[in-house]
Chain A
């Protein structure tokens, strides 16, 4: 049977790269975006994602391994698939291409990069991911540090790429709590002081850096097994002091949906079928670029409502 050639189509789709220090919740964020348990999530301790894993739209699940010399091989066994990106830790330098059926992938490809600052090998993979990226989402768990985060973002800015930062709150914290807001504005100040705001895209006006509670989102989105959810849900119930917790309430509290929609909008509107180099033109259009962008989203949202 002749395989459908999707290459050309794939190339025209924008690539959203999820980056951040190891164990900040990149894979969790990706799974939340995809709505399925695709990437292996760590326990917050060891670096789990060992090589770049690219997620593309496909009607059926499939994994391709693309070696550094561009040769591709196809595998489709469930065991391999379920182990996802961590299975190929022995072969760094290659990229996994995972096809999945997820609405988010219709407008963009996603790339889960290994966390940086764990070891040198992982950083190479993260750099490689950055090279391919159209838009970067940095997942942070606390204020940025000069050593790795700021360096990484400077690298992004130098390459002319645009990025946003998402703050993954502590398990028990509400994204809209004063504490989270404080951290977000601190992170934003760091970006500004490091002169990184030129390429920074603010996802919402009221949050300079967007806070989400990925644990809550994860529980609410329903892609985890029942066992996994029960354990986590107990804790969440305690945090939220609510006994009757519906997924809708939890999802709302997690602040995740807006970020998903906005990312889809941004990437869909501005990067879809647009070579990323054209962005430089947009960059010059106005200083209040991100503000305008938000206005657009707002209008769009109100019209949707």
Chain B
């Protein structure tokens, strides 16, 4: 029976039903009596009146019966879940009325069943399926199952075969699509089965098929066993209890209910889907580098481990350890404090053992994770870092290698520092203490013995996880504080996982972790924060006091770890009256809301009472464990100075009743403190705990409500935490990472080519600029005026000399011609001859002079200043510039400037024939004749002629000023300049060619190396588009589905 109210209503109905039936029977008897009256009686009785009375009475009884049945139906409608219990009452009631016609009994039952199934159908059809596609899928699914049911009907097999057949059909169609199994679908399947008119199943049948059913619905059944949900039991029991048999439709409904109710299986399905997806992805080998495989495997492992961890967080002495021990069925697993001093020094997790798993031959065990020597060293060095001298450093860089003597020196220094100064930072001191202890352990040889002790019996680990007694007072001697080896082992325990058998833990199905209290000292706080970072959810124990600043700080850490929506808040009310705790709750809710935790549910419970209730229950079941008895004795001895803990331990172990009495005393004291005098006095007056008393204690502790809420919380959060946060989200993250790396590959590949292109462009630009700049610089060489200047310079330099030489030579030539030829022969010939000779000599002379000029051109100041120097300095600068460019761009690296020095070009061999020209001598004949008639000495006249008339001078001037002559001269002298230009241009064009070649080469090379990268880029792109992106979409859809499954339910 689910609730007392139901029970009341049921029994009330049963009573009424009973009475009505009794009355009906009486009336029936009465009528029969009237019918069977003998004559005497008939004469002396008013038969009609009696008959009428009996008839009226019977009608009344029937209408009352109808009313009862109607009420019963109403009740059935209201609480479909309690069908079995109602039916049970009905059945009992019927059984008492053994004489009532069995037809009538069956009729009533079938009527009730019909109403029930009708009400379920009505209710179910009202449930609208929101999602269109889900509705369609579910309809198709139902159609398929219904078709198979029809097929089974057609085959007409014995009921048990039919049932198994239906189950197989369900399994086949539902197992993969359980999400679509909605109420509408269920009711349709049930009604199809009902309509098919299969014969009913007997309880024996169902029992004998348990094994087969279990195989069919194995995961569901195991889940049901652990979660102890009532549906399956109801289904089995309902058949047995009502009439020893069950209609096929009900049996199917029971199965469907169980399937639909088995969150674990749905969960497993989600999980399998995700792990399959991950597995497929790994197997597909799309992960080129394989660097993501380990991460993915970790995700898969976590999914398979199915480990959900809730970490208990509160201020010190907030009741974390008591809560943990309460969940361990009242066993002293985590050391509980006496109420004022911190106790837990390490992270302790507890987890239920499913089945008969053992470890090292131990049925229950604790797995201790010790810090290894290197980590311990690192931790010590981290603490000592702030004490190290920055100049003369004692700590080595990698910390682990720091010498022992250095550590000791620093520790002593740190203690001296702390002892001298007013300690403004107690946090530092806390850490220093632990570091000191850790160092002591490091020096101990027997440490290794302990470090190898990884699995220990449950009773043995507690001494490693507790702060030593009188922790504070013993530190007054600083570095030399005295502690025993075993006492300080806590400082190197990382965490402890305790595996025990506990129904409460089995029910929650997760790992619960207890941490040291927050804010009592830095070391504890850091440990707790560390545990919080690893946890899937946080169980935050609010104190009975309203939330203060410290809580705000703790909650902000939770928020930082992204655990806001994974917080379960409870108030351990300790010795505070319920009313007070409720007041606090209101204030706390407001505070939490203002700190961004939304509108949270806060459950109140009393850890101490629940813990003690669990102990009492255990004491009745199989007695308390030895350690628990010891702890109890110690606790009593603390309160009672006269008590001897050893004696008490023996007494308690021998006599569980004494043990319970001691527990009772503790609970009474607490009940008084929490202002529950009625409970206190009730406990006080009782001799021993009765079931009722235990129930009362439990209900006062609020443990059942807490566990129910916790269970719901875990179902939802586990799905979110494992499937989404630790599963699909992490997978998504990994995929996104992979996607990004693929994108990077793609970009990098592209970038290589782009970079080469860019470099080439840069080289070309630089070269073009270089070319332009230097062409511009050497542009002065193109100026022809330079040549004209040189010609002028030549004439300036040699003009007079030539003129004089030629004049003398002309006289000599003329005289010679006069002597050699006859005057009369032919003046014209003589003229011609003379002229020819003079001309030839002149040209020879000019040529010779020009040759001289050119030979000495390098030393010619004009040439030097106007061409040579600018050119040479320009070339030097150009070479320098080029070197710089080469260093800036590798493409230009192997190109050098061709020789632009023009030493060789000063051989002017080609010049000799190139110079032409004439000295025009029109003056000969007339003047010549005149000379004859003057009768002067011919030679004198010749000399006079040449000196006075200066024909040579005139001819020379004419020659000099002749444009053609000058052009010729310029061409001759400009050849050097032109050669320079040519050399430069050739050099630049050669360079340009080389640059182009180099660029082309680079392009080819880049292309060649790019070919691989392009392939990678293409592959990356393809992987991204075809594998990753669809996978991401799939995962997002998965997340949505999980959320729909778990959140909409809770909302």
Contact = CB atoms under 8 A, between A and B. Distances in A.
A231 interface: yes
Interface in A162-179: 167, 170-174, 177-179
B475 A193 contact: yes
Contact of B427 (A22, A42, A146, A192): A146
28 contacts: A22-B546, A43-B576, A45-B546, A45-B581, A45-B583, A45-B584, A46-B587, A117-B549, A143-B472, A146-B426, A146-B522, A157-B422, A170-B575, A172-B639, A172-B672, A174-B641, A179-B340, A179-B639, A193-B429, A193-B476, A194-B429, A195-B422, A234-B680, A235-B673, A235-B677, A238-B672, A238-B680, A239-B672
Given A157-B422, A193-B429, 9 more contacts: A44-B545, A44-B576, A45-B583, A143-B316, A147-B549, A148-B549, A179-B339, A182-B469, A188-B472
Contact of B341 (A47, A143, A157, A178): A143
A143 B342 contact: yes
B473 interface: yes
B546 A118 contact: yes
A23 interface: yes
B268 interface: no
Contacts of B421: 195
Contacts of B545: 22-23, 44-46
- 9 tightest CB-CB pairs across the interface, nearest first? A235-B672, A189-B472, A43-B580, A142-B340, A189-B473, A183-B340, A45-B584, A172-B669, A195-B422
B470 A119 contact: no
Contact of B472 (A45, A120, A193): A193
A145 interface: yes
A186 interface: yes
Nearest to A179: B638
B814 to A, nearest CB: 131
A44 B575 contact: yes
B550 interface: yes
A238 B475 contact: no
B549 A118 contact: yes
Interface string A192-206: 111100100000000
Contacts of A45: 544-546, 576, 580-581, 583-584
B548 interface: yes
Nearest to B545: A23
A141 interface: yes
B579 interface: yes
A148 B550 contact: yes
A224 interface: no
A238 B668 contact: yes
Nearest to A43: B580
A118 B548 contact: yes
Nearest to B637: A178
B372 to A, nearest CB: 29
A10 B465 CA distance: 54
Given A117-B549, A178-B638, A142 B341 contact: yes
Interface in A19-35: 21-23
Contacts of B342: 143
Q: How many interface residues does chain B have, given as a range?
A: 35 or more
Interface string B475-509: 11000000000000000000000000000000000
Interface of A: 21-23, 42-47, 117-120, 123, 141-143, 145-148, 150, 154, 157, 167, 170-174, 177-179, 182-183, 185-190, 192-195, 198, 231, 234-235, 238-239
B317 interface: yes
B675 interface: yes
B339 A147 contact: no
Contacts of B316: 142-143, 145
Contacts of A193: 423, 426, 429, 472, 475-476
A187 to B, nearest CB: 8
A185 B473 contact: yes
Nearest to A140: B340
B672 A146 contact: no
Contact of A142 (B339, B546, B641, B670): B339
B521 interface: yes
A145 B519 contact: yes
B911 interface: no
Contact of A192 (B424, B476, B638): B476
Contact of B580 (A22, A44, A120): A44
A234 B520 CA distance: 34
B684 interface: yes
A11 B522 CA distance: 42
Given A44-B545, A173-B639, A193-B426, A147 B576 contact: no
A96 B522 CA distance: 38
A268 B680 CA distance: 44
Contacts of A148: 549-550
B1047 interface: no
Contacts of B908: none
Contact of B520 (A47, A143, A179): A143
Interface string B439-473: 00000000000000000000000000000011111
Query: Most chain-A Cβ atoms within 10 A of its Cβ — which of B340, B474, B576, B680?
Result: B340
A170 B669 CA distance: 11
A171 B172 CA distance: 63
B570 to A, nearest CB: 15
B3 interface: no
A141 B638 contact: no
B577 interface: yes
B417 to A, nearest CB: 12
Given A44-B575, A170-B340, A194-B423, A119 B549 contact: yes
Given A143-B341, A177-B641, A234 B576 contact: no
B610 to A, nearest CB: 19
Nearest to B550: A147
Interface in B547-576: 548-550, 553, 575-576
A188 B340 CA distance: 13
B638 A194 contact: no
B338 interface: yes
A23 to B, nearest CB: 5
Contact of A234 (B426, B473, B581, B672): B672
B680 A235 contact: yes
Contacts of B429: 193-194
Given A43-B577, A177-B638, A185 B584 contact: no
A206 to B, nearest CB: 15
A22 B520 contact: no
Interface in B909-962: none
A215 to B, nearest CB: 9
A285 to B, nearest CB: 20
Contact of A183 (B341, B422, B519, B577): B341
A283 to B, nearest CB: 14
